[in-house]
Structure 1
Amino acid sequence: MEFKDYYQVLGLDKNASEAEIKKSYRKLARKYHPDVSKEADAELRMKEVNEAYAVLGDLEKRAAYDQLGGRYRDGQEFQPPPNWDAGFEFSGAGFSAADMGDFSEFFANLFGQAAAGQAGRGGRAGPRPRRGEDHHAKIVIDLRDAYQGAPRTVTLRAARTDAEGRVSMQEYSLSVQIPKGIKEGQHIRLAGQGGPGSGGSAAGDLFLEVHFKQDPHYRVDGRDVYLSLPVTPWEAALGASVEAPTPSGKVQVKIPANSQSGRKLRLKGRGIPGEPAGDLYLLLEIALPPADTDKARQLYEMMAREMAFNPRLAMGV
Protein backbone atom coordinates (compact mmCIF):
# COMPACT_ATOMS: atom_id res chain seq x y z
CA MET A 1 0.00 0.00 0.00
CA GLU A 2 1.27 3.48 -0.85
CA PHE A 3 2.00 5.78 2.07
CA LYS A 4 0.30 9.19 1.81
CA ASP A 5 2.39 12.16 2.96
CA TYR A 6 -0.40 14.55 3.90
CA TYR A 7 2.01 17.28 4.94
CA GLN A 8 3.54 17.24 1.46
CA VAL A 9 0.07 17.40 -0.13
CA LEU A 10 -0.66 20.61 1.79
CA GLY A 11 2.88 21.95 1.30
CA LEU A 12 3.55 22.07 5.02
CA ASP A 13 6.21 21.17 7.54
CA LYS A 14 5.39 18.46 10.09
CA ASN A 15 5.47 21.08 12.85
CA ALA A 16 2.80 23.24 11.19
CA SER A 17 0.29 24.83 13.54
CA GLU A 18 -3.48 24.43 13.28
CA ALA A 19 -3.74 27.91 11.79
CA GLU A 20 -1.13 27.11 9.12
CA ILE A 21 -2.92 23.89 8.19
CA LYS A 22 -6.23 25.68 7.81
CA LYS A 23 -4.66 28.51 5.79
CA SER A 24 -2.94 26.10 3.40
CA TYR A 25 -6.12 24.07 2.94
CA ARG A 26 -8.18 27.13 2.05
CA LYS A 27 -5.53 28.33 -0.40
CA LEU A 28 -5.35 24.97 -2.18
CA ALA A 29 -9.14 24.55 -2.12
CA ARG A 30 -9.49 27.84 -4.01
CA LYS A 31 -6.81 26.74 -6.48
CA TYR A 32 -8.15 23.27 -7.25
CA HIS A 33 -11.91 23.51 -6.76
CA PRO A 34 -13.33 21.93 -9.96
CA ASP A 35 -15.90 24.69 -10.39
CA VAL A 36 -13.26 27.38 -10.79
CA SER A 37 -9.90 25.72 -11.43
CA LYS A 38 -8.36 25.52 -14.89
CA GLU A 39 -5.84 22.86 -13.82
CA ALA A 40 -6.13 19.62 -15.83
CA ASP A 41 -6.02 17.44 -12.73
CA ALA A 42 -8.06 19.75 -10.51
CA GLU A 43 -10.61 17.13 -9.40
CA LEU A 44 -7.94 14.62 -8.39
CA ARG A 45 -5.85 17.24 -6.59
CA MET A 46 -8.94 18.52 -4.77
CA LYS A 47 -9.67 15.01 -3.48
CA GLU A 48 -6.07 14.70 -2.25
CA VAL A 49 -6.28 18.07 -0.51
CA ASN A 50 -9.60 17.19 1.14
CA GLU A 51 -8.20 13.88 2.35
CA ALA A 52 -5.06 15.50 3.74
CA TYR A 53 -7.11 18.10 5.58
CA ALA A 54 -9.51 15.45 6.91
CA VAL A 55 -6.49 14.05 8.77
CA LEU A 56 -4.26 17.03 9.55
CA GLY A 57 -7.18 19.33 10.27
CA ASP A 58 -8.44 16.97 12.94
CA LEU A 59 -6.52 16.99 16.21
CA GLU A 60 -7.01 13.30 17.00
CA LYS A 61 -6.38 11.82 13.57
CA ARG A 62 -3.32 14.01 13.08
CA ALA A 63 -1.76 12.76 16.31
CA ALA A 64 -2.42 9.13 15.34
CA TYR A 65 -1.09 9.72 11.80
CA ASP A 66 2.08 11.39 13.12
CA GLN A 67 2.84 8.45 15.37
CA LEU A 68 2.23 5.91 12.60
CA GLY A 69 4.12 7.94 9.99
CA GLY A 70 7.17 8.12 12.22
CA ARG A 71 7.80 4.43 11.42
CA TYR A 72 7.70 4.89 7.65
CA ARG A 73 10.83 5.21 5.51
CA ASP A 74 10.87 6.41 1.89
CA GLY A 75 10.78 3.59 -0.62
CA GLN A 76 9.20 1.08 1.74
CA GLU A 77 5.98 -0.76 1.00
CA PHE A 78 3.75 0.61 3.72
CA GLN A 79 1.77 -1.75 5.92
CA PRO A 80 0.38 -0.56 9.25
CA PRO A 81 1.23 -2.86 12.17
CA PRO A 82 -1.65 -4.96 13.56
CA ASN A 83 -3.81 -3.00 15.99
CA TRP A 84 -1.69 0.12 15.44
CA ASP A 85 -4.66 2.30 16.46
CA ALA A 86 -5.40 0.49 19.74
CA GLY A 87 -5.81 2.99 22.55
CA PHE A 88 -6.33 6.10 20.40
CA GLU A 89 -9.38 8.03 21.54
CA PHE A 90 -11.45 9.54 18.73
CA SER A 91 -14.48 11.78 19.07
CA GLY A 92 -17.54 11.86 16.84
CA ALA A 93 -19.30 9.09 14.98
CA GLY A 94 -16.90 8.55 12.06
CA PHE A 95 -17.34 8.61 8.29
CA SER A 96 -20.21 7.11 6.34
CA ALA A 97 -19.69 4.66 3.48
CA ALA A 98 -20.48 7.46 1.01
CA ASP A 99 -17.79 9.69 2.48
CA MET A 100 -15.20 6.91 2.32
CA GLY A 101 -15.66 6.63 -1.44
CA ASP A 102 -13.85 9.96 -1.88
CA PHE A 103 -10.77 8.85 0.03
CA SER A 104 -7.82 6.61 -0.81
CA GLU A 105 -7.20 3.01 0.24
CA PHE A 106 -4.55 4.35 2.63
CA PHE A 107 -7.09 6.53 4.44
CA ALA A 108 -9.75 3.81 4.50
CA ASN A 109 -7.35 1.26 6.01
CA LEU A 110 -6.17 3.65 8.70
CA PHE A 111 -9.27 5.62 9.61
CA GLY A 112 -12.22 3.85 8.02
CA GLN A 113 -13.48 2.36 11.28
CA ALA A 114 -12.31 4.79 13.92
CA ALA A 115 -12.26 8.01 11.89
CA ALA A 116 -13.78 10.84 13.79
CA GLY A 117 -15.02 14.18 12.54
CA GLN A 118 -14.86 15.11 8.88
CA ALA A 119 -13.12 18.06 7.26
CA GLY A 120 -15.60 20.91 7.14
CA ARG A 121 -17.80 19.23 9.76
CA GLY A 122 -19.05 22.53 11.12
CA GLY A 123 -18.17 25.25 13.60
CA ARG A 124 -17.94 25.17 17.34
CA ALA A 125 -20.93 24.50 19.50
CA GLY A 126 -23.17 27.49 20.05
CA PRO A 127 -24.22 28.86 23.41
CA ARG A 128 -27.27 26.63 23.72
CA PRO A 129 -26.95 23.52 25.93
CA ARG A 130 -25.61 20.51 24.08
CA ARG A 131 -24.78 16.98 25.15
CA GLY A 132 -21.10 16.11 24.89
CA GLU A 133 -19.77 14.15 21.93
CA ASP A 134 -19.42 10.41 22.18
CA HIS A 135 -15.82 9.21 22.00
CA HIS A 136 -14.53 5.95 20.55
CA ALA A 137 -11.39 3.91 21.14
CA LYS A 138 -10.15 0.46 20.19
CA ILE A 139 -8.83 -1.85 22.90
CA VAL A 140 -7.09 -5.23 22.57
CA ILE A 141 -7.79 -7.97 25.11
CA ASP A 142 -6.83 -11.62 25.66
CA LEU A 143 -9.25 -14.20 24.30
CA ARG A 144 -9.42 -15.72 27.79
CA ASP A 145 -10.94 -12.47 29.10
CA ALA A 146 -13.94 -13.03 26.81
CA TYR A 147 -14.40 -16.52 28.27
CA GLN A 148 -14.32 -15.48 31.91
CA GLY A 149 -14.91 -11.73 32.07
CA ALA A 150 -12.33 -9.73 33.96
CA PRO A 151 -11.57 -6.33 35.48
CA ARG A 152 -8.83 -4.70 33.42
CA THR A 153 -6.97 -1.39 33.31
CA VAL A 154 -6.72 0.05 29.81
CA THR A 155 -4.49 2.91 28.72
CA LEU A 156 -5.88 5.37 26.19
CA ARG A 157 -4.19 8.19 24.32
CA ALA A 158 -5.94 11.47 23.62
CA ALA A 159 -4.66 14.28 21.41
CA ARG A 160 -3.99 17.71 22.91
CA THR A 161 -2.60 20.99 21.57
CA ASP A 162 -0.40 23.49 23.35
CA ALA A 163 -0.67 27.27 23.18
CA GLU A 164 1.30 27.30 19.91
CA GLY A 165 -0.92 24.70 18.23
CA ARG A 166 1.52 21.81 18.47
CA VAL A 167 -0.08 18.38 18.81
CA SER A 168 0.91 15.82 21.43
CA MET A 169 -0.58 12.67 22.91
CA GLN A 170 -1.51 12.36 26.57
CA GLU A 171 -2.06 8.97 28.17
CA TYR A 172 -4.56 8.14 30.87
CA SER A 173 -5.84 4.91 32.38
CA LEU A 174 -9.34 3.59 32.98
CA SER A 175 -10.63 0.62 34.96
CA VAL A 176 -12.91 -1.48 32.75
CA GLN A 177 -14.95 -4.62 33.38
CA ILE A 178 -14.63 -6.93 30.37
CA PRO A 179 -18.02 -8.69 30.09
CA LYS A 180 -18.02 -12.48 29.89
CA GLY A 181 -18.96 -13.56 26.36
CA ILE A 182 -18.03 -10.36 24.54
CA LYS A 183 -17.25 -10.87 20.85
CA GLU A 184 -14.65 -9.17 18.71
CA GLY A 185 -16.04 -5.91 17.33
CA GLN A 186 -18.55 -5.39 20.13
CA HIS A 187 -18.44 -2.22 22.25
CA ILE A 188 -18.17 -1.57 25.95
CA ARG A 189 -20.04 1.64 26.84
CA LEU A 190 -18.66 3.84 29.59
CA ALA A 191 -21.41 6.36 30.36
CA GLY A 192 -20.30 9.96 30.82
CA GLN A 193 -16.66 9.27 29.86
CA GLY A 194 -16.86 11.03 26.49
CA GLY A 195 -16.64 14.72 25.64
CA PRO A 196 -17.96 17.30 28.12
CA GLY A 197 -21.40 18.79 27.57
CA SER A 198 -22.09 22.51 27.26
CA GLY A 199 -24.54 24.68 29.16
CA GLY A 200 -24.89 22.14 31.95
CA SER A 201 -25.75 19.23 29.63
CA ALA A 202 -24.50 15.69 30.23
CA ALA A 203 -21.16 14.45 28.97
CA GLY A 204 -21.03 12.03 26.08
CA ASP A 205 -20.17 8.36 26.38
CA LEU A 206 -16.95 6.51 25.63
CA PHE A 207 -17.32 3.38 23.49
CA LEU A 208 -14.48 0.86 23.61
CA GLU A 209 -14.40 -1.41 20.56
CA VAL A 210 -13.03 -4.81 21.58
CA HIS A 211 -10.46 -6.74 19.56
CA PHE A 212 -8.51 -9.86 20.50
CA LYS A 213 -4.74 -10.08 20.71
CA GLN A 214 -3.19 -12.21 18.01
CA ASP A 215 -2.74 -15.69 19.45
CA PRO A 216 -0.30 -18.30 18.12
CA HIS A 217 -2.82 -21.09 18.75
CA TYR A 218 -6.39 -19.83 18.42
CA ARG A 219 -8.39 -18.31 15.57
CA VAL A 220 -11.77 -16.70 16.27
CA ASP A 221 -14.81 -16.51 14.01
CA GLY A 222 -17.75 -14.88 15.78
CA ARG A 223 -18.21 -17.02 18.90
CA ASP A 224 -16.51 -20.07 17.37
CA VAL A 225 -12.85 -20.74 18.13
CA TYR A 226 -10.43 -22.86 16.08
CA LEU A 227 -7.28 -24.63 17.25
CA SER A 228 -4.80 -26.76 15.29
CA LEU A 229 -4.08 -29.79 17.48
CA PRO A 230 -0.91 -31.83 16.76
CA VAL A 231 -1.26 -35.59 17.12
CA THR A 232 1.21 -38.41 16.60
CA PRO A 233 0.83 -40.84 13.66
CA TRP A 234 -0.11 -43.69 16.04
CA GLU A 235 -2.69 -41.53 17.86
CA ALA A 236 -4.28 -40.68 14.52
CA ALA A 237 -4.12 -44.26 13.19
CA LEU A 238 -5.12 -46.21 16.30
CA GLY A 239 -7.26 -43.62 18.08
CA ALA A 240 -6.39 -42.17 21.46
CA SER A 241 -7.49 -39.97 24.31
CA VAL A 242 -5.30 -36.87 24.45
CA GLU A 243 -5.21 -33.65 26.45
CA ALA A 244 -5.99 -30.48 24.51
CA PRO A 245 -5.71 -26.84 25.60
CA THR A 246 -8.71 -24.52 25.39
CA PRO A 247 -9.09 -20.88 26.48
CA SER A 248 -11.12 -22.10 29.47
CA GLY A 249 -8.70 -24.87 30.52
CA LYS A 250 -7.44 -28.31 29.48
CA VAL A 251 -9.85 -31.02 28.30
CA GLN A 252 -9.57 -34.70 27.36
CA VAL A 253 -10.40 -35.33 23.71
CA LYS A 254 -11.00 -38.65 21.98
CA ILE A 255 -9.17 -38.95 18.67
CA PRO A 256 -11.09 -41.37 16.39
CA ALA A 257 -9.07 -44.17 14.80
CA ASN A 258 -7.92 -43.66 11.19
CA SER A 259 -8.02 -39.87 11.49
CA GLN A 260 -6.28 -37.81 8.83
CA SER A 261 -4.67 -34.38 8.99
CA GLY A 262 -7.32 -31.71 8.63
CA ARG A 263 -10.06 -33.70 10.36
CA LYS A 264 -12.25 -31.37 12.39
CA LEU A 265 -13.47 -32.30 15.86
CA ARG A 266 -16.23 -30.17 17.36
CA LEU A 267 -16.40 -29.45 21.08
CA LYS A 268 -19.92 -28.09 21.46
CA GLY A 269 -20.28 -25.02 23.66
CA ARG A 270 -16.52 -24.67 24.22
CA GLY A 271 -16.31 -21.47 22.17
CA ILE A 272 -16.95 -17.95 23.48
CA PRO A 273 -19.83 -18.02 26.02
CA GLY A 274 -23.17 -16.61 24.94
CA GLU A 275 -26.77 -17.45 24.13
CA PRO A 276 -26.01 -19.74 22.43
CA ALA A 277 -22.33 -20.30 23.19
CA GLY A 278 -19.91 -20.84 20.34
CA ASP A 279 -18.12 -24.09 19.60
CA LEU A 280 -14.43 -25.00 19.74
CA TYR A 281 -13.12 -26.78 16.64
CA LEU A 282 -9.95 -28.88 16.81
CA LEU A 283 -8.20 -29.29 13.46
CA LEU A 284 -6.02 -32.39 13.63
CA GLU A 285 -2.46 -32.00 12.41
CA ILE A 286 -0.32 -35.15 12.23
CA ALA A 287 3.16 -34.42 13.58
CA LEU A 288 5.95 -36.75 12.41
CA PRO A 289 8.75 -37.67 14.80
CA PRO A 290 12.17 -36.73 13.37
CA ALA A 291 14.35 -39.47 11.89
CA ASP A 292 17.38 -38.15 13.73
CA THR A 293 18.69 -41.35 15.34
CA ASP A 294 19.65 -44.78 13.99
CA LYS A 295 16.73 -46.34 15.86
CA ALA A 296 14.24 -43.83 14.46
CA ARG A 297 15.50 -44.39 10.90
CA GLN A 298 15.22 -48.16 11.33
CA LEU A 299 11.61 -47.81 12.45
CA TYR A 300 10.76 -45.63 9.43
CA GLU A 301 12.49 -48.14 7.11
CA MET A 302 10.47 -50.96 8.67
CA MET A 303 7.24 -49.01 8.14
CA ALA A 304 8.19 -48.42 4.50
CA ARG A 305 8.73 -52.14 3.98
CA GLU A 306 5.82 -53.50 5.99
CA MET A 307 3.08 -51.00 5.19
CA ALA A 308 3.86 -50.28 1.52
CA PHE A 309 1.58 -47.25 1.68
CA ASN A 310 1.23 -44.86 -1.30
CA PRO A 311 -0.62 -41.68 -0.24
CA ARG A 312 -0.68 -40.47 -3.88
CA LEU A 313 -2.51 -43.46 -5.29
CA ALA A 314 -5.81 -41.57 -5.61
CA MET A 315 -3.95 -39.01 -7.75
CA GLY A 316 -3.03 -41.66 -10.28
CA VAL A 317 0.70 -41.69 -9.48
Structure 2
Amino acid sequence: MATIALAATDGMLHFELAMAFEVFAHDPSGLADPWYDLVVCGPGPVGIGRFRMEPDDGLDRLARADTVIVPAVEDIDADLPPDLLDAVRAAHEAGARLVSFCTGAFVLAAAGVLDGLRATTHWAHTEALAARYPRVAVDPDVLYVDNGSVLASAGKAAAVDLCLHLIRRDHGSTVANAVARRLVVPPHRAGGQAQFVTTPVPARDDHPLGDLLPWAMERLDRPLTVEDLARRANMSSRNLARHFAAATGTTPLQWLSTQRIRRAQELLENSDRSIDAVARAAGLGTATTLRRHFHRTLGVPPETYRRTFRSTAPPA
Protein backbone atom coordinates (compact mmCIF):
# COMPACT_ATOMS: atom_id res chain seq x y z
CA MET A 1 0.00 0.00 0.00
CA ALA A 2 1.48 3.35 -1.08
CA THR A 3 1.82 5.93 1.68
CA ILE A 4 0.94 9.58 1.12
CA ALA A 5 2.23 11.98 3.78
CA LEU A 6 0.71 15.45 4.16
CA ALA A 7 3.23 17.93 5.54
CA ALA A 8 1.37 20.15 8.02
CA THR A 9 2.94 23.13 9.78
CA ASP A 10 1.72 26.42 11.20
CA GLY A 11 0.68 28.95 8.58
CA MET A 12 -0.58 26.53 5.96
CA LEU A 13 -3.99 26.93 4.33
CA HIS A 14 -6.69 24.45 5.26
CA PHE A 15 -8.40 24.19 1.86
CA GLU A 16 -5.57 22.37 0.12
CA LEU A 17 -4.81 20.15 3.09
CA ALA A 18 -8.46 19.22 3.61
CA MET A 19 -8.93 18.64 -0.11
CA ALA A 20 -5.97 16.23 -0.25
CA PHE A 21 -7.42 14.40 2.76
CA GLU A 22 -10.81 14.17 1.04
CA VAL A 23 -9.31 12.77 -2.17
CA PHE A 24 -6.75 10.32 -0.82
CA ALA A 25 -8.33 9.15 2.43
CA HIS A 26 -11.39 7.59 0.77
CA ASP A 27 -11.22 4.44 -1.34
CA PRO A 28 -13.47 4.98 -4.41
CA SER A 29 -15.86 2.07 -3.88
CA GLY A 30 -13.18 -0.58 -3.94
CA LEU A 31 -12.07 0.21 -7.50
CA ALA A 32 -8.42 0.39 -6.43
CA ASP A 33 -6.99 -2.28 -4.15
CA PRO A 34 -4.92 -1.38 -2.33
CA TRP A 35 -5.74 2.31 -1.96
CA TYR A 36 -3.44 4.85 -0.32
CA ASP A 37 -2.41 4.96 3.32
CA LEU A 38 -2.71 8.64 4.25
CA VAL A 39 -0.83 10.16 7.19
CA VAL A 40 -0.66 13.76 8.36
CA CYS A 41 2.81 14.75 9.53
CA GLY A 42 3.85 17.78 11.55
CA PRO A 43 6.14 19.04 14.31
CA GLY A 44 3.28 18.88 16.85
CA PRO A 45 -0.14 20.51 17.13
CA VAL A 46 -0.33 22.98 14.26
CA GLY A 47 -2.55 25.90 13.34
CA ILE A 48 -4.25 25.48 9.96
CA GLY A 49 -6.25 28.65 9.32
CA ARG A 50 -8.62 28.96 12.28
CA PHE A 51 -8.24 25.30 13.21
CA ARG A 52 -5.80 23.37 15.35
CA MET A 53 -4.84 19.88 14.33
CA GLU A 54 -2.91 17.01 15.88
CA PRO A 55 -0.77 15.27 13.22
CA ASP A 56 -0.49 11.49 13.05
CA ASP A 57 3.30 11.56 13.06
CA GLY A 58 6.34 13.84 13.04
CA LEU A 59 7.96 15.45 10.02
CA ASP A 60 10.66 12.77 9.97
CA ARG A 61 7.92 10.43 8.72
CA LEU A 62 8.09 12.20 5.32
CA ALA A 63 11.30 10.36 4.47
CA ARG A 64 9.48 7.02 4.77
CA ALA A 65 6.55 7.97 2.54
CA ASP A 66 6.07 7.13 -1.12
CA THR A 67 4.49 10.53 -1.86
CA VAL A 68 4.82 13.77 0.12
CA ILE A 69 2.28 16.55 -0.39
CA VAL A 70 3.07 20.10 0.71
CA PRO A 71 -0.15 22.20 0.87
CA ALA A 72 -0.24 25.95 0.34
CA VAL A 73 1.43 28.39 2.72
CA GLU A 74 -0.56 31.46 3.71
CA ASP A 75 2.29 33.98 3.65
CA ILE A 76 4.93 33.51 0.95
CA ASP A 77 7.13 36.14 2.61
CA ALA A 78 7.21 34.48 6.03
CA ASP A 79 10.23 32.45 7.10
CA LEU A 80 9.72 28.77 6.32
CA PRO A 81 10.32 26.32 9.20
CA PRO A 82 13.84 24.83 8.84
CA ASP A 83 12.61 21.46 10.09
CA LEU A 84 10.05 21.35 7.26
CA LEU A 85 12.69 22.15 4.64
CA ASP A 86 15.03 19.52 6.10
CA ALA A 87 12.24 16.92 6.08
CA VAL A 88 11.36 17.71 2.45
CA ARG A 89 15.01 17.34 1.41
CA ALA A 90 15.30 14.06 3.30
CA ALA A 91 12.17 12.73 1.60
CA HIS A 92 13.52 13.75 -1.80
CA GLU A 93 16.85 12.04 -1.12
CA ALA A 94 14.98 8.92 0.02
CA GLY A 95 13.19 8.76 -3.34
CA ALA A 96 9.74 10.05 -2.37
CA ARG A 97 7.53 11.67 -4.98
CA LEU A 98 7.12 15.33 -3.97
CA VAL A 99 3.96 17.30 -4.69
CA SER A 100 3.15 20.94 -3.95
CA PHE A 101 -0.23 22.64 -4.05
CA CYS A 102 -0.51 26.33 -4.86
CA THR A 103 2.07 28.31 -2.83
CA GLY A 104 3.49 25.07 -1.45
CA ALA A 105 5.84 25.42 -4.42
CA PHE A 106 7.75 28.01 -2.36
CA VAL A 107 8.54 25.25 0.14
CA LEU A 108 9.86 22.89 -2.54
CA ALA A 109 11.85 25.72 -4.11
CA ALA A 110 13.35 26.78 -0.77
CA ALA A 111 14.34 23.16 -0.13
CA GLY A 112 16.20 23.17 -3.46
CA VAL A 113 14.26 20.25 -5.00
CA LEU A 114 12.87 22.40 -7.83
CA ASP A 115 16.27 23.59 -9.09
CA GLY A 116 16.47 23.02 -12.83
CA LEU A 117 12.86 21.86 -13.04
CA ARG A 118 9.59 23.33 -14.29
CA ALA A 119 7.11 24.41 -11.65
CA THR A 120 4.02 26.52 -11.19
CA THR A 121 2.01 28.14 -8.42
CA HIS A 122 -1.00 30.42 -8.13
CA TRP A 123 -0.93 32.95 -10.98
CA ALA A 124 -0.76 35.84 -8.48
CA HIS A 125 2.58 34.53 -7.17
CA THR A 126 4.37 33.16 -10.25
CA GLU A 127 6.45 36.31 -10.69
CA ALA A 128 7.54 36.22 -7.06
CA LEU A 129 8.48 32.53 -7.32
CA ALA A 130 10.51 33.15 -10.49
CA ALA A 131 12.29 36.18 -9.02
CA ARG A 132 13.10 34.52 -5.70
CA TYR A 133 14.27 31.21 -7.19
CA PRO A 134 15.85 31.91 -10.60
CA ARG A 135 16.99 28.28 -10.97
CA VAL A 136 13.35 27.20 -11.15
CA ALA A 137 11.65 27.32 -14.57
CA VAL A 138 8.32 28.84 -13.55
CA ASP A 139 5.43 28.28 -15.98
CA PRO A 140 2.58 30.70 -15.16
CA ASP A 141 0.12 29.28 -17.69
CA VAL A 142 -0.43 25.66 -16.65
CA LEU A 143 -2.73 24.05 -14.10
CA TYR A 144 0.01 21.69 -12.95
CA VAL A 145 3.49 20.45 -13.85
CA ASP A 146 4.66 16.83 -13.75
CA ASN A 147 8.44 16.33 -13.67
CA GLY A 148 8.10 12.67 -12.81
CA SER A 149 9.17 12.66 -9.17
CA VAL A 150 8.42 16.33 -8.44
CA LEU A 151 5.03 17.85 -9.27
CA ALA A 152 3.41 21.24 -8.63
CA SER A 153 -0.07 22.65 -9.09
CA ALA A 154 -1.40 26.15 -9.54
CA GLY A 155 -3.85 27.65 -7.07
CA LYS A 156 -6.77 26.12 -5.18
CA ALA A 157 -8.90 24.05 -7.59
CA ALA A 158 -5.84 23.18 -9.69
CA ALA A 159 -4.74 21.07 -6.73
CA VAL A 160 -7.77 18.87 -7.43
CA ASP A 161 -6.60 18.53 -11.04
CA LEU A 162 -3.19 17.40 -9.82
CA CYS A 163 -4.70 14.93 -7.35
CA LEU A 164 -6.70 13.33 -10.15
CA HIS A 165 -3.57 13.26 -12.30
CA LEU A 166 -1.72 11.40 -9.55
CA ILE A 167 -4.53 8.86 -9.26
CA ARG A 168 -4.57 8.46 -13.03
CA ARG A 169 -0.82 7.77 -12.97
CA ASP A 170 -1.12 5.28 -10.12
CA HIS A 171 -4.42 3.53 -10.81
CA GLY A 172 -5.54 4.43 -14.34
CA SER A 173 -8.23 6.63 -15.88
CA THR A 174 -11.22 4.60 -14.71
CA VAL A 175 -10.36 5.04 -11.05
CA ALA A 176 -9.46 8.72 -11.52
CA ASN A 177 -12.76 9.32 -13.30
CA ALA A 178 -14.66 7.58 -10.50
CA VAL A 179 -13.03 9.87 -7.95
CA ALA A 180 -13.85 12.88 -10.13
CA ARG A 181 -17.47 11.77 -10.24
CA ARG A 182 -17.60 11.52 -6.45
CA LEU A 183 -16.11 14.99 -6.10
CA VAL A 184 -18.43 16.35 -8.81
CA VAL A 185 -15.54 17.80 -10.80
CA PRO A 186 -14.36 17.18 -14.38
CA PRO A 187 -11.78 14.38 -14.65
CA HIS A 188 -9.60 16.61 -16.79
CA ARG A 189 -9.69 20.34 -17.48
CA ALA A 190 -8.29 21.61 -20.73
CA GLY A 191 -6.26 24.79 -20.89
CA GLY A 192 -4.14 26.57 -18.34
CA GLN A 193 -4.67 28.91 -15.44
CA ALA A 194 -4.43 31.99 -17.67
CA GLN A 195 -8.11 31.49 -18.41
CA PHE A 196 -8.86 32.13 -14.71
CA VAL A 197 -6.82 35.31 -14.29
CA THR A 198 -9.76 37.30 -15.60
CA THR A 199 -13.42 36.31 -15.94
CA PRO A 200 -13.58 33.54 -18.59
CA VAL A 201 -17.00 34.64 -19.87
CA PRO A 202 -17.74 38.37 -19.85
CA ALA A 203 -20.47 39.21 -17.36
CA ARG A 204 -21.31 42.70 -18.62
CA ASP A 205 -23.90 43.14 -21.34
CA ASP A 206 -21.78 45.86 -22.93
CA HIS A 207 -18.65 43.71 -23.16
CA PRO A 208 -17.43 43.34 -26.78
CA LEU A 209 -17.82 39.55 -26.50
CA GLY A 210 -21.06 39.63 -24.50
CA ASP A 211 -23.24 38.72 -27.50
CA LEU A 212 -20.64 36.87 -29.53
CA LEU A 213 -19.98 33.93 -27.22
CA PRO A 214 -23.64 32.84 -26.83
CA TRP A 215 -24.09 33.31 -30.60
CA ALA A 216 -21.12 31.03 -31.30
CA MET A 217 -22.28 28.44 -28.73
CA GLU A 218 -25.56 28.09 -30.64
CA ARG A 219 -23.65 27.43 -33.87
CA LEU A 220 -20.97 24.96 -32.84
CA ASP A 221 -22.28 22.46 -35.37
CA ARG A 222 -21.53 24.87 -38.22
CA PRO A 223 -18.21 25.90 -39.78
CA LEU A 224 -16.95 28.98 -37.92
CA THR A 225 -13.75 30.87 -38.64
CA VAL A 226 -12.02 33.72 -36.87
CA GLU A 227 -13.24 35.96 -39.68
CA ASP A 228 -16.83 34.84 -39.00
CA LEU A 229 -16.47 35.70 -35.33
CA ALA A 230 -14.80 39.03 -36.06
CA ARG A 231 -17.52 39.95 -38.55
CA ARG A 232 -20.22 39.12 -36.01
CA ALA A 233 -18.45 41.21 -33.36
CA ASN A 234 -17.91 44.09 -35.82
CA MET A 235 -14.16 44.20 -35.22
CA SER A 236 -10.94 43.18 -36.92
CA SER A 237 -9.49 39.71 -36.40
CA ARG A 238 -6.56 41.23 -34.50
CA ASN A 239 -8.86 43.21 -32.21
CA LEU A 240 -10.98 40.09 -31.65
CA ALA A 241 -7.90 38.09 -30.65
CA ARG A 242 -6.95 40.78 -28.13
CA HIS A 243 -10.42 40.74 -26.52
CA PHE A 244 -10.43 36.93 -26.41
CA ALA A 245 -7.04 36.84 -24.72
CA ALA A 246 -8.19 39.35 -22.09
CA ALA A 247 -11.54 37.63 -21.43
CA THR A 248 -10.72 33.93 -21.76
CA GLY A 249 -6.93 33.63 -21.67
CA THR A 250 -6.92 31.86 -25.02
CA THR A 251 -7.40 32.39 -28.76
CA PRO A 252 -10.74 32.36 -30.60
CA LEU A 253 -9.92 29.07 -32.33
CA GLN A 254 -8.78 27.39 -29.12
CA TRP A 255 -11.94 28.59 -27.38
CA LEU A 256 -14.06 27.13 -30.19
CA SER A 257 -12.17 23.84 -30.01
CA THR A 258 -12.70 23.63 -26.24
CA GLN A 259 -16.44 24.33 -26.54
CA ARG A 260 -16.79 21.69 -29.25
CA ILE A 261 -15.05 19.08 -27.13
CA ARG A 262 -17.38 19.95 -24.24
CA ARG A 263 -20.40 19.61 -26.55
CA ALA A 264 -19.11 16.22 -27.67
CA GLN A 265 -18.72 15.15 -24.04
CA GLU A 266 -22.34 16.07 -23.30
CA LEU A 267 -23.60 14.13 -26.33
CA LEU A 268 -21.49 11.08 -25.53
CA GLU A 269 -22.81 11.02 -21.98
CA ASN A 270 -26.46 11.70 -22.69
CA SER A 271 -27.34 10.42 -26.16
CA ASP A 272 -27.24 7.31 -28.33
CA ARG A 273 -25.82 9.16 -31.32
CA SER A 274 -23.03 7.45 -33.25
CA ILE A 275 -19.50 8.83 -33.02
CA ASP A 276 -19.91 10.29 -36.53
CA ALA A 277 -23.17 12.00 -35.53
CA VAL A 278 -21.57 13.38 -32.35
CA ALA A 279 -18.67 14.71 -34.42
CA ARG A 280 -21.04 16.50 -36.80
CA ALA A 281 -23.19 17.93 -34.00
CA ALA A 282 -20.10 19.26 -32.21
CA GLY A 283 -18.73 20.85 -35.36
CA LEU A 284 -15.76 18.50 -35.62
CA GLY A 285 -16.76 17.02 -38.97
CA THR A 286 -15.82 13.35 -38.88
CA ALA A 287 -15.27 10.63 -36.32
CA THR A 288 -11.57 10.64 -37.18
CA THR A 289 -11.26 14.34 -36.37
CA LEU A 290 -13.27 13.92 -33.17
CA ARG A 291 -11.05 11.05 -32.02
CA ARG A 292 -7.88 13.04 -32.70
CA HIS A 293 -9.04 16.15 -30.83
CA PHE A 294 -10.68 14.15 -28.04
CA HIS A 295 -7.60 12.06 -27.35
CA ARG A 296 -5.31 15.08 -27.47
CA THR A 297 -7.51 17.03 -25.04
CA LEU A 298 -8.79 14.36 -22.65
CA GLY A 299 -6.27 11.56 -23.12
CA VAL A 300 -8.91 8.96 -24.05
CA PRO A 301 -10.87 8.17 -27.25
CA PRO A 302 -14.58 9.12 -27.33
CA GLU A 303 -15.68 5.49 -27.13
CA THR A 304 -13.81 5.03 -23.84
CA TYR A 305 -15.22 8.26 -22.48
CA ARG A 306 -18.76 7.15 -23.33
CA ARG A 307 -18.32 3.80 -21.58
CA THR A 308 -16.97 5.54 -18.49
CA PHE A 309 -19.43 8.40 -18.21
CA ARG A 310 -22.57 7.14 -19.90
CA SER A 311 -25.58 8.51 -18.03
CA THR A 312 -27.98 6.03 -16.46
CA ALA A 313 -30.85 8.31 -17.42
CA PRO A 314 -32.83 7.70 -20.64
CA PRO A 315 -30.96 8.99 -23.73
CA ALA A 316 -31.65 12.63 -24.52
TM over 0.5: no
Higher helix share: 2
Q: TM-score normalised to the size of structure 1?
A: 0.26
Higher strand share: 1
Mark the structure with the bigger radius of gyration: 1
